[in-house]
Chains A and B, each alone.
Chain A
Amino acid sequence: MNIGWLEVTVAAFVLTVISGAFLARGRNWLEPGFWKGFAIGGSLVMFILLWILTFDTLKKISMGSERVPSPTVINHKIGYEYNADRRMYVPVIGEEEPFFGKKWSEKEAYELITKGKLVIQSRNCMDCHTLLGNGAYYAPDLTKAWLDPKWETMIKPMLKVETREEAIAKWLMNTDKYPTWTRKMPNLGLSEDEAKAVVAYLKFMSAIDTNGFPDHFGKTASN
């Protein structure tokens, strides 16, 4: 279903006025009963529209949809590029690349992602960081963390490992020993499996179509 915001907005308005006026008919506007009609009509209209939009949205953001990728996206290169048609930055899913040295089957990838999400919740990541821009503001946003240049420029050389995923995993397990600035991330006691799962989650998350947030990630104003 193709839903346009203007149609929804106009429909909400018209339906609210009609239903409110119907329920309040014959009453003076200074009476409580007049506004009661509008309160009931307006609330019902909005509530019903929200449910309709909710069903549509949930369909469009299920894993493997156009907006939220399948977990097997971890087997691919991911980029973030400006899309002139949509006038915003969008994730670009590229050719296959090994992730922790292998290709993950659909089942394995799903389990890994699920584990990653559990680890993220169990350590309260969102009480320091933001994910998709929501959470706390004490540490950087992680929406596109997988794509962050710092892994290549600072962390990989510091930890002396080959791949980006290894760098992230190893750093996550030793945050207290490898500070990047004055605020050190606490060592959250991640096991190796847990660290891998979190890295997979970061990679998966970076491939979600977030309507261009954050804007021009990784590009400074001068380049």
Chain B
Amino acid sequence: MGKLYESQKLALWYFTVAIVLFGAQLLFGLLAAYQYLNPDFLYGVLDFSINRMLHINAMVVWLIMGFIGGVYWFLPIETGREVVGIKLGKIAFFVLVAAVAVVVLVYLLVQTGKGDYFTLWFITEGREYIEAPRWADWGIVAVVLVFYFNVVATAFKSGKITGILGVLMIDLLALAGLYLAGMYFTPNISVDQFWWWWVVHLWVEATWEVLVGVLMAWSLMAVLGTPRKIVEAWLYLEVFLVFGTGILGLGHHYFWIGTPEYWLGIGGFFSALEPIPLVAMVVHAIYDAGSHKLKAANKPALFWIMAQAFGNFVGAGMWGFMHTLPQINLYSHGTQITPAHGHLAFFGAYVAANLTLMYIAIQGVRAPEGPALDSRAWKLAYVGFAITIFGMVGALTVAGFAQIFVERAVGGATWSAYIAGQEHPWVREPMYWRFGFGVLFLLSYVILVYDMLTIGKKAATVTEVKPA
């Protein structure tokens, strides 16, 4: 085992909890997907709404924990010193884990409350993705403040604020600040949705995208040895393009929530440009990997870097573009097209980024001086994920198109039209494919976990390649 900073040990804790929650996410996703096939399953016990809530909340939490882990992993490398408030950081970790456990137990056992403020504070806020009750919101804010303090204090103590650190500090501040927009009750649902999208969109299409840009920049330097100057120039370009298109791109969620008509044009225009930075990232990754002829001391990390660039472009860029113009979104809004895009984008951009970080950490722990990290299992998991995510997304996309046609275009979007759409074979059957691919997705996850537990442990099975 290599010598690790305390901060990197903390990163491993974060990664461990993250990967466990990933598994929980999939289990609840499968339950929800199964309820599409058999609605009586667990009816009144663990309803679709609860499974779905756990599915997407587990996702948000584990992805963020993975990102925090990634920052704690790279921070000491970037600054050449131990993280300043490491003790506090460890306490915050346990507070976070305990809070998540309590929230999950309440979701499972209490599920819903009466229509009053008590419910919002202690059971659920009932707002997709950020259902976590208000007390937990404040807990999260406290934990994030500790994390933020550690990043800033360490950066300043080290005496050299690199470009990457500068971007990270500003981005994290925005990311944390946005969360405040989600802690707010109003009887006006248009205002509610207005701020809700600040959190959801300005997270995944702005601040998370830049955060991942930072983490991928460090990953490229670690895995391929890409020079800092190149990485930083690309990072600034990405910040420019992501914020330049993604901030007003927020308007693609303001078409139909009661907000003024000018959002149709603004949202359509800027969000249509959002794929540009994603293309740039693909170019960057291919260029860097190509100039190394796909050789690196950390095979799985390199391949997940590539998956991230492509997945981000295809899931967010292509599947996002598909329904982002108001002329199309008027009919596709809130159909199965939306989760088709949501799944591919979240997987491609953020799951892939997290797995890259984890493999880098695994190498740092098990084989920092080589030999190269490689195994058969990671490839199996990799191919498995690639096939099954496209299987699920393909199914949802087909279902979505049929739903748009039957329910929206022909049926007039009523309750009966909805039912007609859902019962149409082109919507009903893809739900079976989605479930089937979902089971295989879970299998890929099991292989992934097996690989993470074993890869690099037996030096004999791996080939010698000089670390970059």
Residues of A within 8 A of B (CB): 3-6, 8-9, 12, 16, 20, 30-32, 34-36, 38-39, 42-43, 46-47, 49-50, 53-54, 56-58, 60-63, 67-68, 71, 86, 110, 113-128, 130-141, 143-145, 148-150, 176, 180-184, 186-189, 191, 194, 197, 205, 208-221
Contacts and interface: CB of A to CB of B under 8 A. Distances in A.
Contacts of B260: 3, 56-57, 60-61, 67
A47 B198 CA distance: 12
Contacts of B339: 137
B190 interface: yes
B194 interface: yes
Interface of chain B, helix or strand or loop or mixed?
A: helix
B418 interface: yes
B123 to A, nearest CB: 7
26 contacts: A5-B265, A35-B233, A50-B248, A53-B262, A56-B260, A57-B263, A61-B260, A63-B188, A67-B258, A118-B116, A120-B126, A122-B120, A124-B49, A126-B127, A128-B47, A128-B52, A132-B256, A133-B333, A138-B48, A140-B418, A149-B414, A183-B422, A184-B43, A212-B330, A220-B410, A221-B412
B159 interface: no
B244 A124 contact: no
B115 interface: yes
Contact of B415 (A62, A138, A150, A176): A150
Contacts of A135: 128, 334
Task: Please list the 6 inter-chain residue pairs (A to B) with the smallest Cβ-Cβ separation, ordered nearest first.
Answer: A5-B265, A121-B126, A119-B115, A35-B236, A213-B256, A214-B413
A125 B255 contact: no
Nearest to B125: A121
Nearest to B119: A122
A219 B410 CA distance: 8
A220 B411 contact: yes
A124 B257 contact: no
A63 to B, nearest CB: 5
Contact of B414 (A58, A134, A205, A217): A217
Given A9-B265, A134-B334, 8 more contacts: A6-B265, A32-B163, A35-B233, A35-B236, A122-B123, A128-B47, A140-B414, A217-B414
Interface of B: 32, 35-36, 39-40, 43-44, 47-50, 52-53, 112-117, 119-120, 123-128, 131, 163, 167, 185-194, 196, 229, 232-233, 235-237, 239-240, 243-244, 247-248, 250, 253-266, 269-270, 330-331, 333-336, 338-339, 408-419, 422-423
B127 A121 contact: yes
Nearest to A43: B243
Contacts of B119: 118, 121-122
Nearest to B113: A122
A126 B44 CA distance: 17
- Indicate the member of A46, A67, A143 with the most B CB atoms within 10 Å: A46
Nearest to B200: A134
B188 A136 contact: no
